[in-house]
Structure 1
Amino acid sequence: MRLHEQPHHDGSGLYVSDGAPSLGDLVTVWVRVPAAAGVTAVHLRSTPDGEPRFTATAVDPDRTGAAVAGYGAGDVWWRGELLVRNPVTNYRFLVEADGVEPYWLTAGGIVEHEIPDDMDFRVVAYDAPPAWSADAVIYQIFPDRFARAAGAKPLAELPSWALPREWDRDEVIGQGPGTSEQFFGGDLDGITERLDHLQALGVNTVYLTPVFPARSNHRYDASTFDEVDPLLGGDAALARLAEAVHARGMRLIGDITSNHCGDAHEWFTRAVSDVHAPEREMFYFDDTTGEYESWCGVKSLPKLNWASPLLRERMGAVLRRWLVHFDGWRVDVANMTGRRGAQDDTHEVAALIRRGLPGEVMLVGEHMHDPTGDLDRDGWHGTMNYLGFTRPVWAWLRGDGHLDQFFGTPPGVPRRDGRAAYATMRAFASRVSWRTLTHSWNILDSHDSARVRTVTGDAGRHLVALGLQVTLPGTPMVYAGSEFGLTGWNGENARTPMPWDRPADRDEDMLAAYQRLLRLRAAEPALRHGGLRWLHVTSDTMVYLREVEQNAILVAARRAGGEAVRLPLDARLTGVCNATDLEPDDSGTVTLPGDGPSLRVWRLGPPR
């Protein structure tokens, strides 16, 4: 059965009546069935208290026969009622159809054999993420490399660790000695002065990597959480930035290291110098040797022990204190926080942090591989989606050059076709709720990775990657400088100072493409709140719909040219990005162009 002929359900508002239910609620769920599927019955299966339960569904006459989302007047809609018995309620559908054995409709798609419950759809009754975060477009800033205020005076004296570098003259050291010490001098007032650029780009949320004092340019080795680094302008500069951001109706996200601090941190220096210090319990010390646990053996990053009540108290106070400026937190190394050998407090810690913060605060955990076991709990609202977005997009759109930086995976970035990329995306999406999927960050690159332009090798595939980032479910996170097409072969090398005064390093066409596509996301409710229906996937092509009531957006992404794609869509297609208007032929089929690499977006109109 071809993708566009399959019954469909997802967790969006078009298919689930309440995405943030309470325990005990009845939630209405719908399955949309094309006529070609020949479906005769649909059964809703859930597992309240761990026991499978089947509930009948029936054809919904209010939707069947209507062109919901602007097309599909021949589709049949089946309606069922789901009891939200548990904080996470799993469900799937058993479908009976003419000429075939019954099959499952799951969050991973159609399955014709028995499968574990981890591929079920799910609704979550824990407190919902803040409402504003569903519309967020995030811009990541590494403060040392973004901008230095125009009126900033030269620093009288740099700290002993700093290796001074010239903004537009010196190349970034990509590996070896000096990577963490090179200092270009960006500051927070410099960011404030460049907010026009962010707003013109279509950004509404600014995410800063750490701003606390440290002995490195990345500041993940904080020496205190009680003040802002004077090198960035101190507390007053953060206050000015936050005020300016909020005055524009934007939001500001901070970065906290919950797994470790720096070896110069006041908590650690007390703990290491006095075995009787109260702070001793906040870390892991060997009683015999006095040696301490650190992040991956890096001794400058002592690991925090979340079994310590004192640590829980102090970190909670830190997270709350800075909400005077921040609207949320990105949690560094969330995957390792609270984990050490037989000790696993990760889920408890995430829930503790979330309960200690107001409900309007965004809370996203960093996780570079499989985060699914840590999500859909009373903790992180979402994750930095390296697994379900970055990795498959890189593998599908990588250029011809060799790139060995693939998040630690040898032998480097693989070359995979569109079917493999689609399978990875579906695998991730099938193991988290729709709510978690849409509140996870879609990342093309970050301060910890190569630049997307280096991965794709050219502007054409970079544009396709951007189109996927903006139009697939999830929260787009743009790494500062990628809108100019900056390059870099690893995280350190990619931390290039912004090319404000280097015209040769600015791809103005790419900048315009970012502005156009991010504004398109803001203008189209379907791209922010719509469901996802895959229609056509081949080696070089992905075509899908984003749908809300009476409105749908069709996206066609191609990494290379090939045959035109014919789809049975009984609707007019109005081009809204890189696309001309299309009309269905007499058979109700539209033909999408076959050139590539390309990214085209249409709005579906009423049936022909």
Structure 2
Amino acid sequence: QPVQEADLWLTKLNEDPVAYPMNYNDETQKYETQVRVGSSGLYNYYFAIKQNNQMFYVDQGLFGQGRLRQDDHNLKQYQLICYERKVPQVDWYDQGVVYQIFPDRFANGNPYGEVTGRKKNSFLYATEEDTPYYIKNSRGEITRWDFFGGNLAGIRKKLPYLKKLGVNTIYLNPIFLATSNHRYDTVDYMKIDPMLGDEDDLRGLIHDLHQNGMHLLLDGVFNHVGQESIYFQEAIKDKSSHYYSWFNFINYPEKYQSWWGVSSLPEVNKSNPEYQDFIYGDHGVLAKWMKDQVDGWRLDVADELPMDFLRNIRNRLMKENCQVMIGEVWEDASDKFVNSEYRPYTFGDNLTGVMNYPVRNFIVGLLTSENSDAEIALMNKLALLVEHYPTNFLRNCLNNIGTHDTVRIKTALQNDEKLVLLAFGLMFMLPGVPCIYYGDEAGLIGDKDPDNRRFFPWGRESRSLIAQVSKWINVRKQNPVLVKSKIGFLHIATGINAIVRYDEKVIMVYCINKNKAETVLAKENFAFYCLPKTIAEEVAAELDQTKLSGEDSILRKIPRKANIG
């Protein structure tokens, strides 16, 4: 029966839906319409079709395929982001590879391993091989912080290792004066923690990085401070202190708003103009450290910072000619809500990218799944993320297979180093900037915090794994298609899957077999997703009848035979 009506129903967040009639195009043999939205925002849409006086609805099925429905209840609508402006693409960043360092746990560069700036009521481990642990009281509060003695001088001393590995950017967990080893409990934003060194050590590190064509990202913790911070201590001593208004006291001075109720992390009032000026004013924290030519920032718990606060941080960094501002957001950042308020992170006027934890979820899930349905569902979820993010924002996201907040990748994969290598390969194949958590490339293990923060295993590294990770870094450097291209997926059987990246000139396909047994790839078993037919055919021709060993992979680079639009 002929279609009587076809409409696109478009809804902007917090506004009423609007219907746009669609007309049949004889040339394309499709129903089409043009929509011009009036402003940036989060939009959702679906299609309504009238045929034989009966209504049908088309919403989003697997991998974006249209799904025909006979009712409009609980439609899974398509999502569309209209953003303010493109986030900048910084070549050294989006074409590079980042290496995350937890400063206390990487290397000690002092003569004879001396530990300087020791803290009261803390303890030092006897050897670098010791396993981290916490000393807690009956309430579960940490009473003595533990340290290994890693410092900025140690990082500087190990730059030859990092350069040989191939990374071009270091991301440091917090380095400002604090009480704990993680330093997310800032005591003084204007001072380097003396256990790590001083400002000269930071300048020396930055100088050496830049001399080697490398860059530095610092961790900004602006949602909360430490209980021992100079700001909070002044506030609880005297209500007349100008720091008093920086905090939200419930029952002064004992009870106050803190990060997730953790009393050692008093939350700062980000709407306080004085605090705002202190962070991003002309003489504030960001301005001070940017004078030392820091290259970018990662913002801790960005989803707890008000949007105007984020925008003003971005404005300050732009004034300092700094274009990299990555936020800690664990979910899909395109449709994130905090306290029922939409957070427009992808609009281009605040964050330039986020910590891409969904990538880790995809990789670990794919390597530990037990059935095809679960693997296809993981691919679909990642495909949605790729579709939701503006292109430049996606390319700026910091991909990881582990951080200081997750179980080590080797531990997550049952200490199977072959699977760890597959995990690295998947990370390097996906859109975004790969970020290696220190020691993961060396085979370091570790369960939940604090076990995932062991000291780097100098002298006990997995040389073979380091060599393979270094090869992957070189593959990315030599193949722009892994930076600027489209992505598709291939499922062959349980445990056998592939990532496909392609542009107008080349296709790269990475196929993994996480199973123990060898397999022979047969094109009749290939199920392609999010790929044009021509690309799928070329990949199928390349891989058909290829032997793939157990817990192994193949990487193929295929020159294009046919261009696509």
> Which of the numbers 316, 323, 328 marks the counterpart of 2:296?
328
> Which of the numbers 383, 389, 397 marks the counterpart of 2:354?
383
Structure 1 residue 398: Cα displacement: 3.7
2:445 paired with 1:490: no
Assess if the C-alpha contact under 8 Å between 1:395 and 1:416 holds in 2. Answer: no
Residues 597 and 573 (structure 1), Cα distance of their counterparts in 2 relative to 1, 3 Å cut: farther
Structure 1 residue 84: Cα displacement: 6.8
Residue in 1 that maps onto 2:85: 126
After superposition, what is the alpha-carbon deviation per residue over 1:308-349, rounded to whole angstroms, capped at 9, x for unaligned? 111111111212321233211111122223xxxxxxxx2222
Code of the residue aligned with 1:459 in structure 2: it is E
Structure 1 gaps, min length 5: 1-41, 62-75, 338-345, 401-413, 575-581
Moved more, 441-450 or 42-51: 42-51
> Which of the numbers 186, 198, 204 marks the counterpart of 1:234?
198
Residue in 1 that maps onto 2:132: 172
Secondary structure of residue in 1 paired with 2:239: coil
Residues 214 and 157 (structure 1), Cα distance of their counterparts in 2 relative to 1, 3 Å cut: closer
Residue in 1 that maps onto 2:339: none
Secondary structure of residue in 1 paired with 2:191: coil
Moved more, 391-400 or 304-313: 391-400
| Alpha-carbon distance between aligned partners in 1 of 2:168 and 2:48, rounded to the nearest angstrom | 42
Residue in 2 that maps onto 1:294: 258
Structure 1 residue 92: Cα displacement: 7.5
Alignment of 1:588-607 (within 5 A): 590-607=544-561
| Alpha-carbon distance between aligned partners in 2 of 1:370 and 1:510, rounded to the nearest angstrom | 31
Residue in 2 that maps onto 1:434: 391
Residue in 1 that maps onto 2:489: 534
2:290 paired with 1:319: no
TM-score (norm 1): 0.75
Residue in 1 that maps onto 2:521: 564
| Alpha-carbon distance between aligned partners in 2 of 1:319 and 1:470, rounded to the nearest angstrom | 31
Assess if the C-alpha contact under 8 Å between 1:106 and 1:120 holds in 2. Answer: no
> Which of the numbers 263, 268, 273 marks the counterpart of 1:309?
273
After superposition, what is the alpha-carbon deviation per residue over 1:133-176, rounded to whole angstroms, capped at 9, x for unaligned? 32231110011111111536624662213211134342222685
Residues 59 and 397 (structure 1), Cα distance of their counterparts in 2 relative to 1, 3 Å cut: farther
| Alpha-carbon distance between aligned partners in 1 of 2:90 and 2:208, rounded to the nearest angstrom | 22
Residue in 1 that maps onto 2:114: 154
| Alpha-carbon distance between aligned partners in 1 of 2:317 and 2:117, rounded to the nearest angstrom | 38
Code of the residue aligned with 2:353 in structure 1: it is G
Residues 570 and 433 (structure 1), Cα distance of their counterparts in 2 relative to 1, 3 Å cut: closer
Assess if the C-alpha contact under 8 Å between 2:116 and 2:194 holds in 1. Answer: no
> Which of the numbers 171, 178, 192 marks the counterpart of 2:156?
192
Assess if the C-alpha contact under 8 Å between 2:89 and 2:392 holds in 1. Answer: no
| Alpha-carbon distance between aligned partners in 1 of 2:427 and 2:41, rounded to the nearest angstrom | 28
Residues 81 and 478 (structure 1), Cα distance of their counterparts in 2 relative to 1, 3 Å cut: farther
After superposition, what is the alpha-carbon deviation per residue over 1:575-595, rounded to whole angstroms, capped at 9, x for unaligned? xxxxxxx9939xxx8344343
Assess if the C-alpha contact under 8 Å between 1:44 and 1:54 holds in 2. Answer: yes
2:217 paired with 1:250: no
User: Percent sequence identity over matched residues?
Assistant: 25
Alignment of 1:359-378 (within 5 A): 360-369=322-331, 371=333, 372-373=335-336, 374=343, 375-377=345-347, 378=349
2:507 paired with 1:552: yes
Residues 108 and 428 (structure 1), Cα distance of their counterparts in 2 relative to 1, 3 Å cut: same
Residues 214 and 152 (structure 1), Cα distance of their counterparts in 2 relative to 1, 3 Å cut: farther
2:436 paired with 1:468: no
Residues 427 and 573 (structure 1), Cα distance of their counterparts in 2 relative to 1, 3 Å cut: closer
Count residues with an aligned counterpart.
514
Residues 180 and 469 (structure 1), Cα distance of their counterparts in 2 relative to 1, 3 Å cut: farther
Code of the residue aligned with 1:445 in structure 2: it is G
| Alpha-carbon distance between aligned partners in 1 of 2:131 and 2:62, rounded to the nearest angstrom | 46
Code of the residue aligned with 1:321 in structure 2: it is K
Structure 1 residue 489: Cα displacement: 1.0
Structure 2 gaps, min length 5: 1-5, 50-55, 337-342
Residue in 2 that maps onto 1:209: 173
| Alpha-carbon distance between aligned partners in 2 of 1:304 and 1:59, rounded to the nearest angstrom | 61
Residues 570 and 426 (structure 1), Cα distance of their counterparts in 2 relative to 1, 3 Å cut: closer
| Alpha-carbon distance between aligned partners in 1 of 2:26 and 2:478, rounded to the nearest angstrom | 33
Residues 516 and 179 (structure 1), Cα distance of their counterparts in 2 relative to 1, 3 Å cut: farther
2:127 paired with 1:163: no
2:423 paired with 1:459: no
Alignment of 1:95-110 (within 5 A): 108-110=63-65
| Alpha-carbon distance between aligned partners in 1 of 2:289 and 2:194, rounded to the nearest angstrom | 16
| Alpha-carbon distance between aligned partners in 1 of 2:450 and 2:24, rounded to the nearest angstrom | 54
Assess if the C-alpha contact under 8 Å between 1:259 and 1:303 holds in 2. Answer: yes
| Alpha-carbon distance between aligned partners in 1 of 2:111 and 2:26, rounded to the nearest angstrom | 67
Moved more, 483-492 or 170-179: 170-179
Assess if the C-alpha contact under 8 Å between 1:92 and 1:106 holds in 2. Answer: no
Residue in 2 that maps onto 1:397: 367
| Alpha-carbon distance between aligned partners in 1 of 2:193 and 2:377, rounded to the nearest angstrom | 44
Secondary structure of residue in 2 paired with 1:376: helix
Code of the residue aligned with 2:233 in structure 1: it is T
| Alpha-carbon distance between aligned partners in 2 of 1:207 and 1:519, rounded to the nearest angstrom | 20
TM-score (norm 2): 0.80
Code of the residue aligned with 2:301 in structure 1: it is V
Structure 1 residue 45: Cα displacement: 8.4
Assess if the C-alpha contact under 8 Å between 2:128 and 2:148 holds in 1. Answer: no
2:464 paired with 1:519: no
Assess if the C-alpha contact under 8 Å between 1:271 and 1:279 holds in 2. Answer: yes
Residue in 2 that maps onto 1:421: 378
Structure 1 residue 520: Cα displacement: 0.6
Moved more, 551-560 or 426-435: 426-435
Assess if the C-alpha contact under 8 Å between 2:424 and 2:469 holds in 1. Answer: yes
Code of the residue aligned with 2:128 in structure 1: it is D
Code of the residue aligned with 2:449 in structure 1: it is G
Secondary structure of residue in 2 paired with 1:536: strand
Assess if the C-alpha contact under 8 Å between 1:174 and 1:493 holds in 2. Answer: no
Residues 142 and 44 (structure 1), Cα distance of their counterparts in 2 relative to 1, 3 Å cut: same
> Which of the numbers 312, 318, 322 marks the counterpart of 1:352?
312
| Alpha-carbon distance between aligned partners in 1 of 2:359 and 2:496, rounded to the nearest angstrom | 16
Residues 123 and 197 (structure 1), Cα distance of their counterparts in 2 relative to 1, 3 Å cut: farther
Residue in 2 that maps onto 1:272: 236
Residues 328 and 571 (structure 1), Cα distance of their counterparts in 2 relative to 1, 3 Å cut: closer
Code of the residue aligned with 1:148 in structure 2: it is N
Residue in 2 that maps onto 1:509: 464
| Alpha-carbon distance between aligned partners in 2 of 1:329 and 1:522, rounded to the nearest angstrom | 23
Assess if the C-alpha contact under 8 Å between 2:47 and 2:59 holds in 1. Answer: yes
Structure 1 residue 127: Cα displacement: 4.7
Residues 422 and 78 (structure 1), Cα distance of their counterparts in 2 relative to 1, 3 Å cut: same
Residues 254 and 445 (structure 1), Cα distance of their counterparts in 2 relative to 1, 3 Å cut: same
Assess if the C-alpha contact under 8 Å between 1:221 and 1:300 holds in 2. Answer: yes
Residues 166 and 287 (structure 1), Cα distance of their counterparts in 2 relative to 1, 3 Å cut: closer
Residues 261 and 58 (structure 1), Cα distance of their counterparts in 2 relative to 1, 3 Å cut: farther
| Alpha-carbon distance between aligned partners in 2 of 1:416 and 1:439, rounded to the nearest angstrom | 30
Residues 507 and 272 (structure 1), Cα distance of their counterparts in 2 relative to 1, 3 Å cut: same
Residues 429 and 289 (structure 1), Cα distance of their counterparts in 2 relative to 1, 3 Å cut: same
Alignment of 1:29-108 (within 5 A): 51=18, 53=20, 83=36, 85-88=38-41, 108=63
Code of the residue aligned with 2:298 in structure 1: it is R
Secondary structure of residue in 2 paired with 1:286: strand
